[in-house]
């Protein structure tokens, strides 16, 4: 892969309650957002995207839930990654033996060719954040926002006018309340610090996209309370009548999809990579 290409590229290496990892590349810099998979799974998925794990410059964590941090200690040890997390996230027992650099919240941080902005987001974890990654040379922007209970002002700031928008579309409200989960769990998921529904994701996407938006990528879909078709259908309807002319994609739990890139003329289709 040409690391000299001055564009932001995003791959989803898997997303959902069984694990999350998102690779962002820009100006030759690679950062991994969340490590919710073990090193073996992660290595397979990075290989599918033709990325050497040792070439990753830093690892950034959104929050301390196990589907986002379970593999970070082993991966950081194996591949020598620098790990960045908020003070709250770094208290997680799974990070006890990891050297964690404090993540500045609300202040952009430069990691070589990428500028990273972390803002607090509403979720039932300790100091959770969402990320905006900006290419220093081109200004191309990608937002990674999942595990958000509702779209508050920070979430809106992170998602506004980006080239690639990775956004949670966790559940269909009807399926959630009619499904097998006990009421307390439904309440937690649908609550203010739980997870974003398809409807809320659609409304947020609608308010966020502009003509520059090349990709809206729906992430962290529930396998019980959602289907990719439903998520796409709800968000596609919400995007009707907006200037958005890009691609709408759902990212799978157990597969790799990408690269999602800013517009370079025609918006390119992402690839679904087969794992072996």
Site residues, Zn ion (CB under 5 A): 65, 67, 147
- Residue 211 Cβ, how far from Zn ion at the closest point, in Å? 31
* Integer CA distances (angstroms), 176 to 156, 227, 241, in order: 25, 11, 28
- Residue 199 Cβ, how far from Zn ion at the closest point, in Å? 19
The answer to whether 56 and 80 are in contact (CB under 8 A) is no
Of 25 and 168, CB closest to Zn ion? 168
Long-range contacts of 81-85 (CB under 8 A, 24+ apart): 81/32, 81/56, 81/57, 82/57, 82/58, 83/58, 83/59, 84/58, 84/59, 84/60, 84/109, 85/60, 85/61
Of 25 and 67, CB closest to Zn ion? 67
Of 67 and 115, CB closest to Zn ion? 67
Q: At which residue do the structure tokens 């500045």 appear? A: 104
Of 121 and 214, CB closest to Zn ion? 121
- Residue 15 Cβ, how far from Zn ion at the closest point, in Å? 8
DSSP labels, 69-109? HTTHHHHHHHHT-EEEE-HHHHTSGGGTTS-EEEPPBSS-E
Of 27 and 67, CB closest to Zn ion? 67
């Amino acid at each position: 892969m040409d690391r000299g290409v001055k564009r932001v590229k995003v791959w989803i290496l898997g997303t959902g309650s069984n694990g999350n990892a998102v690779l962002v590349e820009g100006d030759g810099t690679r950062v991994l957002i969340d490590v919710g998979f073990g090193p073996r799974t992660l290595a397979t998925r990075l290989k599918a995207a033709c990325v050497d794990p040792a070439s990753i410059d830093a690892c950034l964590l959104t929050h301390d839930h196990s589907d986002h941090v379970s593999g970070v200690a082993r991966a950081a040890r194996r591949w020598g990654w620098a790990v960045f997390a908020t003070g709250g996230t770094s208290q997680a027992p799974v990070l006890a033996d990891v050297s964690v650099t404090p993540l500045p919240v609300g202040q952009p941080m430069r990691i070589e060719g990428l500028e990273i902005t972390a803002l607090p987001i509403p979720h039932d974890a300790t100091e959770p954040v969402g990320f905006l990654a900006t290419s220093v040379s081109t200004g191309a922007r990608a937002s990674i926002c999942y595990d958000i209970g509702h779209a508050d002002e920070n979430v809106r700031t992170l998602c506004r006018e980006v080239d690639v928008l990775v956004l949670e579309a966790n559940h269909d409200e009807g399926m959630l309340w009619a499904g097998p989960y006990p009421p307390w769990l439904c309440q937690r998921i649908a609550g203010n610090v739980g997870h974003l529904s398809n409807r809320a994701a659609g409304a947020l996407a609608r308010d966020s996209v502009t003509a520059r938006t090349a990709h809206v990528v729906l992430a962290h879909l529930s396998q019980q309370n959602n289907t990719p078709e439903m998520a796409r259908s709800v968000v596609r309807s919400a995007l009707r009548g907006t200037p958005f002319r890009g691609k709408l994609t759902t990212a799978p739990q157990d597969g790799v999809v990408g690269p999602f890139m800013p517009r370079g003329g025609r918006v390119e289709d992402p690839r679904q990579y087969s794992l072996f």
